[in-house]
Structure 1
């Protein structure tokens, strides 16, 4: 049953102008009279309404939650409260990372609506990567975003009372977490009505994944960690569709899935989307080998993301280290400092193992589950698409079941090359 709240109504271009005209800051940013503003609904995501509003002086973006999943319709109700968690996460991310997120101009709890900076000439990163555009600043920017948001919201930086307060603040975002729990960790491994894949080419893969006991145990271990490990504030949906950028500027958007969870889930989402794009390039190049250079840029950037993230996270821990985990008083002498540094390195190694597993789960769901990536979906030749997807599935299964095979990000990148080279049909 669809539930709303008193005063809530989905906006339209006709109603939004009058609403924004009553917000002095927004009206000033747009300039002119509301009747002269250009308003277009441009949402192409799975959940929400998104409007672009332009006036004589400037523009804004407006995002409004719907009381159901837009991709599916009213048969799948969804609470409006997700806008509350998105606003809270955006505010915290802005505090920690500055201009790596869009500026918020206005938030309306009743309408579940956020008015924010219009990012121009930025485009969704996924579209840019499909077009073969290189982004030289991205690894630097996303590693900073992840290092600062994950470290400073963890027990490594926070006192226990502040960390528990953050857990409480995000604990109510259960409906969005439930989507993740089902669509990523459960549905691709069972018969589920919303599952879809490239058929009939991948029918055998879908059946095999449903019958694979090792795979189902491995993904369930990841699900348990997702359910129980409140390590830090996560973006919760940190893929290349949640990033808008130019070659010179990166912004992270859409953290409505935010909650306190395992750090490797965010890092894994980024890694997964780079691997999916790597495999998809065979479907986008105009002639064999035409995207070889871009493929190598994708893998090189993937490696930089993890190397930069690890170094920045460790630097924050060494320089700040004021949280209640690993109390400084226990490691004051030279021996203690040496042991603590060993533990820091071991912590990052464990986080990398988590990242590999979560990346595998994210790759699988984008091929055998409900919501797919346009990296692959936009490959019109179904046989070529299926080959790209089969390669990604084969690698993702081994990543999930045998994470020890991927002791480093370099090993993962080489495995991607090897899989593409060796898997020649679906």
Structure 2
């Protein structure tokens, strides 16, 4: 790995600390700027704060966020960060970028899709029941495409400068496939965990999503 970009983005300490706080810490304690649809979600917010198993999982996710340097990631990826045309895709707002766990970006993105998906019932009416919404399918398609492209590039660059999985050690075809499979399973698991953490933050923490906040009926 080229040490220069890693060293450069390690300086983004304050921005990373903000993410550590609002995603992995604040939703699990009582703070004046945490908010939710009260009183309807009061019991749910309290359940989050009292869930020991959940907090153990979140602690592991926070540890990975602070300690893993798998790749240069966007750090605040959501659907509003992605500009799409028929011919190209551009990602904007990179001020949270740093070297971290790859699952954080993917988890943040699909978490945003899940939030939009689950908000649809709150926007349904007699003219549009929202049952044909395809957001959940988009999240599946996104992972499948990423999996295909990532493992394909891994195969193409198997003799590259990376030290983690030297091809001379893992060149047996069956072992090579098992290495990739295990890596991608762990990455998928991390992604779902980070997606859940981001969703919790958007529901009972600070800074929500318009998908929920624009629902007119608070009971819904």
Q: Does TM, normalized by the shorter one, top 0.5? A: yes
Please, which of 230, 234, 241 is the counterpart of residue 80 of structure 2? Answer: 241
- The equivalent of 1:226 in structure 2 is 65
Instruction: State the Cα deviation string for residues 316-357 of structure 1 (Å, max 9, x = none).
Output: 00001211221223234xxx2321221011100110010110
- The equivalent of 1:281 in structure 2 is 120
2:149 maps to 1:312: yes
Map 1:228-377; keep pairs closer than 5 Å.
Answer: 228-246=67-85, 249-287=88-126, 290-294=129-133, 297-321=134-158, 322=160, 323-332=162-171, 336-377=172-213
Output the TM-score relative to the length of structure 2.
0.94
How many residues were matched structurally? 218
- Indicate the structure with greater helix content: 2
Structure 1 residue runs without a partner (length 5+)? 1-158, 385-426
Bigger-Rg structure (1/2) = 1
Q: Separation in 2 of the partners of 1:293 and 1:317?
A: 36
Contact 1:282 1:288 in 2 (8 A): no
Output the TM-score relative to the length of structure 1.
0.49
Q: Separation in 2 of the partners of 1:228 and 1:264?
A: 13
Q: Give the C-alpha shift of residue 248 in structure 1.
A: 5.7
- The equivalent of 1:177 in structure 2 is 16
Q: Separation in 2 of the partners of 1:308 and 1:191?
A: 40
Q: Separation in 2 of the partners of 1:247 and 1:202?
A: 40
Contact 1:185 1:223 in 2 (8 A): yes
Contact 1:185 1:220 in 2 (8 A): yes
Q: Separation in 1 of the partners of 2:137 and 2:116?
A: 13
Q: Give the C-alpha shift of residue 219 in structure 1.
A: 0.5
Instruction: State the Cα deviation string for residues 243-287 of structure 1 (Å, max 9, x = none).
Output: 233466532111110000001001101110111010111122222
Q: Give the C-alpha shift of residue 289 in structure 1.
A: 6.0
- Indicate the structure with greater strand content: 1
Q: Separation in 2 of the partners of 1:285 and 1:364?
A: 23
Q: Separation in 1 of the partners of 2:23 and 2:126?
A: 34
Q: Separation in 2 of the partners of 1:288 and 1:192?
A: 40
For residue 17 of structure 2, give the secondary structure of its aligned residue in structure 1: helix
For residue 24 of structure 2, give the secondary structure of its aligned residue in structure 1: coil
- The equivalent of 1:8 in structure 2 is none
For residue 119 of structure 2, give the secondary structure of its aligned residue in structure 1: helix
Instruction: State the Cα deviation string for residues 63-98 of structure 1 (Å, max 9, x = none).
Output: xxxxxxxxxxxxxxxxxxxxxxxxxxxxxxxxxxxx
